[in-house]
Amino acid sequence: MTCGADGEQSCPQRGVAFWTSALQATLEHNNPSLGSICPSGVTKSAPIQRRCQRDVSALTVEVVHTGPNAMTKATSKFPTLTTKRLRLRRFERRDLADLHACFSDPVAMRYWNSPPCKTMADTERALAWLAKTTSPYDHLAWAACKKSNDRCIGMVNYHSRDARNRRLQLGYITLPKYQRNGFGTEAVRAVLNYCTDELNVHRVEAFMHPDNSPSLRLAEGLGFCCEGGPLLDYWRVGTKFVSVMIYALINKTDEQSGGAPRH
Ligand SMILES: CC(C)(COP(=O)(O)OP(=O)(O)OC[C@H]1O[C@@H](n2cnc3c(N)ncnc32)[C@H](O)[C@@H]1OP(=O)(O)O)[C@@H](O)C(=O)NCCC(=O)NCCS
């Protein structure tokens, strides 16, 4: 995403592909005629969005981490994050129905970098990959849940982490019925703060379709700046290629000398 995924860019040394890529591969393997199933793919040029110089220090921190070194033993302890209304936790099997409501929705998925899930089994495979992403090094996915009932209302992840250069990409989605309530911003802010505070990330990227106004607004609201685009035919979605804009947020609060990544 920067929608949620780009397995082809995940760390080759770790040999771990991001879930959507793997999901697509699985789907294609199971049914070659599907390719990567999706409609989408409306590719059109857009004027470059405004550029700005905001930085992450402007963000209001409302997340409570599980601990300063929560990721040191990340494989045994998932870094649950909390915000005012949300708890961001590891995906569990009970999230399947909620996740399917999201991943099967053609409107919610119209700017995603992989096609909507056609069946519950498709979503089940996606869920398995999301729950599996426990590595602190390459990618990690959180189920954004309402504190009141622990039901999943969205997903935020980071992926394509390049630890040496202290950068990664974010992906996010909110279940359609919960959109426009500030949940997306709240959840992404929590993960953003985790990435800068715990992983010592310097640069966070987000790739998005030029027509994806909600995502552009969310990113800009958190201080991301458009750096350019459209990057032509950047995503392969189903049988089409999609061009995207690149947004980034620089963490200017950390040392400029290029300190080492954590974890
Ligand atoms: C992008 C997305 C995660 C936003 O989630 P959300 O929970 O609605 O986010 P928020 O309520 O915090 O709103 C974020 C901004 O988007 C705006 N927004 C949300 N839905 C919108 C819509 N349908 N049309 C226009 N603006 C919209 C909000 O007004 C807000 O902007 P503002 O702060 O300037 O008012 C959600 O629209 C979504 O899941 N989209 C589909 C998946 C997707 O495309 N993800 C991004 C891939 S790059």
Report the separation in Å between the CA atom of 215 and the middle of ligand 1, taken as the mean of its atom positions: 5
Split at pLDDT 50, 70, 90, the class of 16 is very low
Q: Is the CB of 108 under 6 A from ligand 1?
A: yes
Is residue 109 left, alpha or beta, with left meaning phi > 0 and alpha meaning psi from -120 to 50? alpha
Mean pLDDT calculated for residue range 86-114: 97
Q: Is the CB of 37 under 6 A from ligand 1?
A: no
Q: Is the CB of 177 under 6 A from ligand 1?
A: no
CB burial of 23-47 (b: ≥16 within 10 Å; e: otherwise) equals bbebbeeeeeebbbbbebbebeeee
Report the separation in Å between the CA atom of 68 and the middle of ligand 1, taken as the mean of its atom positions: 30
Split at pLDDT 50, 70, 90, the class of 35 is very low
7-250 — its CATH code? 3.40.630.30
Q: Is the CB of 106 under 6 A from ligand 1?
A: no
| The pLDDT of residue 253 | 84
Q: Is the CB of 220 under 6 A from ligand 1?
A: no
Q: Which position has the higher pLDDT, 115 or 65?
A: 115
Q: Is the CB of 196 under 6 A from ligand 1?
A: no
Q: Is the CB of 211 under 6 A from ligand 1?
A: no
The domains of the chain are located at 7-250
Q: What percent of the chain has pLDDT over 70?
A: 66
pTM of the model: 0.79
Residue 250 structure tokens: 């620089």
Q: Is the CB of 110 under 6 A from ligand 1?
A: no
- Lowest-confidence region among 74-78, 80-84, 103-107: 74-78
Asked if pLDDT for residue 201 goes beyond 60, the answer is: yes
Report which ligand 1 atom has the smallest distance to the Cα of 208. Answer: 48
Residue type, 123: T
Report the separation in Å between the CA atom of 183 and the middle of ligand 1, taken as the mean of its atom positions: 9
Report which ligand 1 atom has the smallest distance to the Cα of 209. Answer: 48
Tell me the per-residue pLDDT of 123-135, one tens digit each, with 9 for 90 and over: 999 999 898 866 6
Report the separation in Å between the CA atom of 254 and the middle of ligand 1, taken as the mean of its atom positions: 29
Q: Is the CB of 214 under 6 A from ligand 1?
A: yes
Q: Is the CB of 216 under 6 A from ligand 1?
A: no
Edge-to-edge strand order for the sheet containing 140-146?
Answer: 81-82, 86-89, 140-146, 152-162, 167-174, 203-208, 240-250, 225-237
| The pLDDT of residue 96 | 98
Residue 64 structure tokens: 């409570």
